[in-house]
Amino acid sequence: MRNRILKVLKDYDLDEIKIGTLGSHSALNILKGAKDEGFETVCICRPKERIIYESFNVADFIIEVSDFKELLNESLQERLIEENVILIPHGSFNAYIGNLDRIRVPFFGNRELMIWETDRAKQREWLERAGLKMPRSLKPEEIKGIAIVKYHGAMGGKGYFLITGKDDFYAKFEELKREGFVKSLEDVEIQEYIVGANVYLSFFYSPMNERIELIAIDRRYEPVDGLGRIPAEIQIKSKVQPTYTVIGNFPIVLRESLLVKALESAKAVVEVSKEIAYPGIVGPFCLEAVFDDNAEMHVFEISARIVAGTNVGIPNSPYSYILWGENMYMGRRIAREIKVAIEKDALGEIVY
Ligand code: AMP
Ligand code: AMP
């Protein structure tokens, strides 16, 4: 697959590279970053969201599609290739398209790792090989204490629920089955729930500089955060349930000594990525962690692309400022890497 993409790239006019993405998730971040680095930008968006990209004036060209899946159409791909577009993938590529291997337009980053990311078993293999501590994956019979039930793919926490035992699990699972939401146990992962502080660490691996950069840290803002405003007795009486559908994000600065674990983990993850999907991670990735009472880091997920939490780091986060001494944020960092690669005639090393 990679050779096919590199062949497409060969015909690109390096003086006319445009940066494009789907209009959702972190598109403002990506398109603004591209403009800050002097690129022209292309936003592929649905009519209902067009107002966003017009309002902020970040897209030089807007291509309207009725469904993001149209990116699988040959005619749209041909148009993007003719315009020398490099696509920056984000969460919506996995959530709304799938079949990423059918897109011939060059992507920034490693598309194969994005495919790994949609499979929880593969994620676990990757993270455990890197020596990271993960919450245990449980069979229904093994549930002790609190567990969280999740689905595959980038859904922003939608539909996750908590359980405290096997019977509790089966009651909810059967309900979901009746509703047609899941078919078999394979559609869910039951994970040990780690009580602690959520931290999403967004890194950038730069093949041009051969280094890992911590760009921003965030945590999510979810309806479950509102539960603390309701007294326990009312919660019990009303049987209110926590829900995890992401609504927004907060920036975070980590206690400094905890950066050791964060940076070491990122390094290990990058090393292993080279073994599982050559050339390994290129560009943004995010380790999604919970720090427990003993300040131990448990990583429950990895995203092998830009996450929307990096939107809190525009125009910079404390970390990107310390590193760069200028306004630097994930969208811009991606565009900077592309710019440097073009100058070095090394674009082939960072696209897939
Ligand atoms: P949307 O365009 O808001 O529907 O989001 C596109 C996809 O990205 C969905 O799968 C969302 O769940 C996910 N997503 C959007 N924003 C965030 C966020 N701030 N954190 C995590 N996931 C997100
Ligand atoms: P996700 O969509 O997987 O990033 O997670 C959605 C929400 O569930 C976030 O608030 C996470 O912090 C939380 N979460 C996911 N897995 C765990 C876990 N094993 N222990 C505690 N919280 C978790």
Sequence length of the chain is 352
Give the pLDDT score at 118.
Answer: 87
Cβ pair 332, 33 in contact under 8 A? yes
Q: Taking residues 89-96, report their average pLDDT.
A: 94
Q: Are residues 274 and 236 in the same domain?
A: yes
Q: What is the pLDDT of residues 257-296, one digit of tens each?
A: 999 999 999 999 999 999 999 999 999 999 999 999 999 9
- Residue 239 sits in a domain whose CATH number is 3.30.470.20
For residues 142 and 186, membership in a common domain is answered with yes
What value does the mean pLDDT take over residues 75-79? Answer: 98
What pLDDT was estimated at residue 154? 53
Q: What is the mean pLDDT of residues 335-351?
A: 97
Written as six digits, the tokens of 149 are 């039930």
Mutational pocket test of ligand 2: of 193, 201, 252, 293, the residue with most ligand atoms within 8 Å of the beta carbon: 193
Residue 242: cis peptide before it, omega within 30 degrees of 0: no
Regarding the beta carbon of 193 and ligand 2, being less than 6 Å apart is answered yes
Average pLDDT for 246-257 = 97
Predicted confidence (pLDDT) at residue 157 exceeds the cutoff of 80? no
Query: Is there an atom of ligand 1 within 6 Å of 246 CB?
Result: yes
CA 155 to ligand 1 center in whole angstroms: 7
pLDDT of res. 348: 96
Do 214 and 319 lie in one domain? The reply is yes
Do 233 and 283 have their domain in common? yes
Distance 97 CA to ligand 1 centre (A): 14
Domain co-membership, 101 together with 53: yes
Q: Is it the case that residue 312 has pLDDT exceeding 80?
A: yes
The pTM of this model reads 0.94
Residues 293, 168: Cα–Cα separation, whole Å = 26
Residue 340 lies in a domain: no
Domain that holds residue 128: 120-132+195-328
Asked whether residue 58 is assigned to any structural domain, the reply reads yes
Q: How far is the CA of 300 from the centre of ligand 2 (A)?
A: 7
Q: Where are the alpha helices (DSSP H) in the chain?
A: 2-10, 27-36, 50-55, 74-82, 91-92, 111-117, 120-129, 166-178, 232-238, 259-276, 318-324, 330-343
- Whether 300 is covered by a domain: the verdict is yes
pLDDT of residue 313 exceeding 90, the answer is yes
* Helix residue ranges per DSSP H, 179-241: 232-238
In a domain, 173, yes or no: yes
Shared domain for 210 and 312, answered yes or no, is: yes
User: Is residue 352 a contact partner of residue 106, using CB atoms and an 8 Å limit?
Assistant: yes
Beta carbon of 301 within 6 Å of any ligand 2 atom: yes
- The alpha carbons of the chain give a radius of gyration, in whole angstroms, of 21
Cβ of 25 below 6 Å from ligand 1: yes
The span from the CA of 43 to the CA of 63, in Å, is 6
C-beta of 259 in contact with ligand 1 (< 6 A): no
Query: Is the C-beta atom of 191 inside 6 A of ligand 2?
Result: yes
Neighbours of 257 (CB within 10 A): 8
Per-residue confidence (pLDDT) for residue 86, from 0 to 100: 98
Q: Are residues 230 and 322 in the same domain?
A: yes
Identify whether residues 127 and 273 lie together within a single domain. yes
**Residue 92 alpha carbon to ligand 1 centre in Å:** 7
Mean pLDDT of 319-346: 98
Which of 21, 24, 25, 50 for a ligand 1 pocket mutation test, highest count of atoms within 8 Å of Cβ?
25
User: 17 CA distance to ligand 2 centroid (A)?
Assistant: 38
β-sheet bridge partners, residue 303: 286
Residues 50 and 155 in one domain: no
158: pLDDT strictly greater than 80: no
The verdict on 179 and 207 lying in the same domain is: no
Mean pLDDT in the chain? 95
Beta-carbon count within 10 A of 22 CB = 26
Nearest-atom number in ligand 2 for the CA of 155 is: 2
In a domain, 212, yes or no: yes
Q: Which of 192, 215, 230 is the last residue of a domain?
A: 192
Q: Domain containing 152 — which CATH number?
A: 3.30.1490.20
* Phi/psi at 12 (5° precision): -75, 145
Instruction: Spell 324-341 as b/e; 16+ CB within 10 A means b.
Output: beeebbbbbbbbbbbbbb
52 has a pLDDT exceeding 90: yes
Yes or no: say if 275 and 112 are a contact pair by the CB < 8 Å rule: no
123 lines ligand 2 (CB under 6 A): no
d(CA 267, CA 211) in angstroms, rounded, equals: 9
227 alpha carbon to ligand 2 midpoint, in Å?
16
Residue 314 pLDDT grade (very low, low, confident, very high; cuts 50, 70, 90): very high
Within this chain, do residues 212 and 298 fall inside the same structural domain, yes or no?
A: yes
Quote the number of domains for the chain: 3
Cβ contact 10:51 at 8 Å: no
Confirm or reject: Cβ of 95 under 6 Å from ligand 1: yes
- Residue 338 belongs to some domain of the structure: no
Q: Are residues 230 and 314 in the same domain?
A: yes
**pLDDT number for residue 60:** 98
Closest C-alpha to 248, from 283, 215, 230, 223:
223
| Residue 36 forms part of a structural domain | yes
Residue 151 has a pLDDT of 86
Q: Give the per-residue pLDDT at 81.
A: 98
Residue 230 tokens, joined = 């309701």
Judge if the beta carbon of residue 316 lies within 6 A of ligand 1: no
Report residue 74 as tokens: 């040959």
Mean pLDDT of 35-43: 98
Query: What atom in ligand 2 is closest to the CA of residue 157?
Result: 2
pLDDT at 98: 85
**CATH code (residue 10):** 3.40.50.20
In a domain, 114, yes or no: no
Question: Quick one: which of 220, 157, 201, 216 has its CA closest to 297?
Answer: 201
Convert the pLDDT of each residue in 180-239 to its tens digit.
Answer: 888 999 989 999 999 999 999 999 999 999 999 999 999 999 999 999 999 999 998 998
**Torsion angle defined by CA atoms of residues 344, 60, 216 and 198, in that order, rounded to the nearest 10 degrees:** -130
* pLDDT level of residue 156 (50, 70, 90 thresholds): low
Protein residue closest via CA to atom 3 of ligand 2: 157
Beta bridge mates, 62:
43
